[in-house]
Chains A and B, each alone.
Chain A
Amino acid sequence: NAGVTQTPKFQVLKTGQSMTLQCAQDMNHEYMSWYRQDPGMGLRLIHYSVGAGITDQGEVPNGYNVSRSTTEDFPLRLLSAAPSQTSVYFCASSYSGKGSSGEKLFFGSGTQLSVL
């Protein structure tokens, strides 16, 4: 059981380049999300999805796009990378049912992105 898989682990971009961070989960979770983690700050939610075809913005969505065509995959797209997007990115998933059992988040191992 692989859990949440993120690729790539490391990426260096030049300002203005585009790229897609991949995230896949094999636990049939309805809820998936993307976070960024910067030094001296807590995890901040970028975008999330409560099921295939449904996405919504989190706390810091600007500069990022997402789509959810399948339950398993939730890619994060940077259309025109900026130095301010240098960060570590984490994908997470969970059951989206109400109650305590639906709230346990499973995280991927992260993507370290540098934008020069």
Chain B
Amino acid sequence: DAKTTQPPSMDCAEGRAANLPCNHSTISGNEYVYWYRQIHSQGPQYIIHGLKNNETNEMASLIITEDRKSSTLILPHATLRDTAVYYCIVRDRNAGNNRKLIWGLGTSLAVNP
């Protein structure tokens, strides 16, 4: 599975949109982009995933560039409870299990009042 690059930390004002970037320049055509987050001392939580089309759910939106080399997770109206570490991961759709997932250090997002 391809490796991803994320900024180590970001700040966002409460109520504003938080835009978290991720580079995955070596992504292959079979790999999905997944986002998880980990609130302090809890287990990681799934947020959203996509292949090449933009995706939206009740938690966030995922924007994937046309060349698929980067993506942005958007939290449209960040709250204090969105303060967490956000992980961007790519995964082969045909792998059949999660053995090869590479978890980096993610982006530590601080939402400020």
Interface residues of A (CB under 8 A from B): 4, 31, 33, 35, 40-45, 48, 50, 56, 58, 88, 90, 92, 94, 96-100, 102-110, 112
Contacts and interface: CB of A to CB of B under 8 A. Distances in A.
Given A103-B34, A105-B36, A48 B43 contact: no
A96 B43 contact: no
Interface stretch (B9-17, B19-27, B102-110): B102-110
Interface of B: 32, 34, 36, 41-46, 49, 51, 87, 91, 93-99, 101-106
Interface of B: prevailing SS: loop
A90 B44 contact: yes
A49 to B, nearest CB: 9
A4 B102 CA distance: 21
A45 B18 CA distance: 30
Contacts of B93: 98-100, 103
- Interface hub of A41, A56, A58, A107 (most chain B Cβ within 10 A): A107
Contacts of A110: 41-43
Contact of B32 (A42, A96, A100, A109): A100
A18 to B, nearest CB: 24
